A and B are shown apart, each in its own frame.
Chain A
Amino acid sequence: MRLDVILRIAAKLMIPFIMLFAIYVQFHGHYSPGGGFQAGVIIAAAVILYAIVFGISAALRVMPRAAVEFMVPLGVGIYAGTGIVSMLLGRPFLDYDPLLADPVAGQYWGVFIVEVGVLVTVAGAMLAIFYAFALRGRP
């Protein structure tokens, strides 16, 4: 019988809500405090809590190392790719006006896509750094 039952049950209860809060912070970031940075860090914190309570190997099954390391450049790619798309449409780099027919809507959704890129990079980078430290002590 493990002695950390309370911790494990509490973590099990909390982690879905932490993830839900991260998604809320990300997608409601246009109307309330929040955005890609905060959501990325909160997602990373949820996975780190899981790793601390249930062991690093359980966390590695949920978020494999290769996937986390792939997320780091993917987010930068999404961000820079948005800029390059607007360049291909004949406007300066990172000008979101031409992404949609209406420039205001273009700005709105351009910001949205860019924030997703930020989320992916920040969550991936924080988890990659955490895994690097956590797996260092092992043979």
Chain B
Amino acid sequence: MVLLTLIAAITVGIIRLKNLFAVVVLFSAYSFLMASVMLVLDAVDVALTEAAVGAGISTVLLLGALYLTKSEEAPARFSSLVPLLVAGGTAVILVWGTWGLPDFGSATSPVNTGVGSEYIARSYEETHIPNVVTAVLASYRGFDTLGEVTVVFTAAIGVMMLLNRGRGKGETQGEADGVGGGENGEG
């Protein structure tokens, strides 16, 4: 509960600050707190990933992008009343919706009696892997993970296409990089 309150406080900071550098650093702290919350929620694999990805890699990428662009936000041109109303209205509807959600930590809620408990019961006999998350990730839901790896692959290709070419004059630079990768692939 304390962690969640801290996260909420950081969110307010992210919304209000104008200096993007500070926002990125706050976002890194936010990710680290989020990893702690996930640890409390028993999602150890997810916490490990969030700590490495959210607090590590995405902070580096955001800082790299800030270095290439600007680190100060321009003052707002429009009043923020309408977005505030939209966000507040959404919040009210969503809070109304939470009364239909299962109680926190209940073992008999529909979420926890479905296929999840089936995985826990069967995965050790079928794969001999004690970590159920690994077994489900790579075996029972192998298709999902293949698609997901393909998404990462596609994103990497996209970023390379966008950024590996020179600024106007260096068309040949990008071409040379592509050819270099191809040759390595064959060798």
A and B touch in the complex (CB under 8 A): yes
Tell me the minimal C-beta distance from B32 to chain A in angstroms. 14
Residues of the A chain whose Cβ atoms lie less than 8 Å from the Cβ of B64: 130, 133-134, 136
Q: Do the beta carbons of A69 and B163 come within 8 Å of each other?
A: no
Chain B 39-65 interface 0/1 with A at a Cβ cutoff of 8 Å (1 = within): 000001101110011001100110011
**Across the A-B interface, how many residue pairs have beta carbons closer than 8 Å?**
152
Residue of A nearest to B64 (CB): A133
Contact among A29, A41, A117, A129 with B134 in the assembled complex (CB-CB below 8 Å): A29
Q: Do the beta carbons of B130 and A76 come within 8 Å of each other?
A: no
In the complex the two chains form, what is the Cα distance from A72 to B133 in whole Å? 24
If the complex has contacts A34-B48, A104-B128, A125-B152, are A132 and B135 also in contact, measured as CB distance less than 8 A? no
Chain B 106-147 interface 0/1 with A at a Cβ cutoff of 8 Å (1 = within): 000000000000000000011111110111011100110110
Q: Is B160 an interface residue (CB 8 A)?
A: yes
Contact among B45, B149, B160 with A128 in the assembled complex (CB-CB below 8 Å): B160
Residues of chain B from 139 to 184 with CB closer than 8 A to chain A in the complex: 139, 142-143, 145-146, 149-150, 152-153, 155-157, 159-160, 162-164, 177, 180-181, 183-184
If the complex has contacts A69-B181, A111-B129, are A136 and B68 also in contact, measured as CB distance less than 8 A? yes
Residues of the B chain whose Cβ atoms lie less than 8 Å from the Cβ of A34: 45, 48, 131, 134
If the complex has contacts A38-B52, A118-B149, are A110 and B156 also in contact, measured as CB distance less than 8 A? no
Contact among B45, B61, B139, B146 with A96 in the assembled complex (CB-CB below 8 Å): B139
Q: How large is the interface on B (under 10, 10 to 19, 20 to 34, 35 or more residues)?
A: 35 or more
Q: Is A35 an interface residue (CB 8 A)?
A: yes
Q: Is B67 an interface residue (CB 8 A)?
A: yes
Number of residues in A with C-beta < 8 Å to the partner? Answer: 55
Residue of A nearest to B180 (CB): A66
Chief secondary structure at chain B's binding surface? helix
Q: Do the beta carbons of B56 and A41 come within 8 Å of each other?
A: yes
Q: Do the beta carbons of B153 and A37 come within 8 Å of each other?
A: no
Q: Is A91 an interface residue (CB 8 A)?
A: no
Contact among A25, A79, A104, A110 with B146 in the assembled complex (CB-CB below 8 Å): A79
Q: Do the beta carbons of B149 and A121 come within 8 Å of each other?
A: yes
Residues of the B chain whose Cβ atoms lie less than 8 Å from the Cβ of A36: 138
Q: Do the beta carbons of B134 and A76 come within 8 Å of each other?
A: no
Residues of the B chain whose Cβ atoms lie less than 8 Å from the Cβ of A107: 126-129, 135, 139
| Top 4 A-B pairs, shortest CB-CB distance | A133-B64, A125-B156, A33-B44, A132-B163
User: Which residues of B pack against A, CB within 8 Å?
Assistant: 44-45, 47-49, 52-53, 56-57, 60-61, 64-65, 67-68, 125-131, 133-135, 137-139, 142-143, 145-146, 149-150, 152-153, 155-157, 159-160, 162-164, 177, 180-181, 183-185
8 CB-based A-B contacts, threshold 8 Å: A31-B131, A76-B153, A80-B146, A110-B138, A118-B138, A121-B153, A132-B159, A136-B68
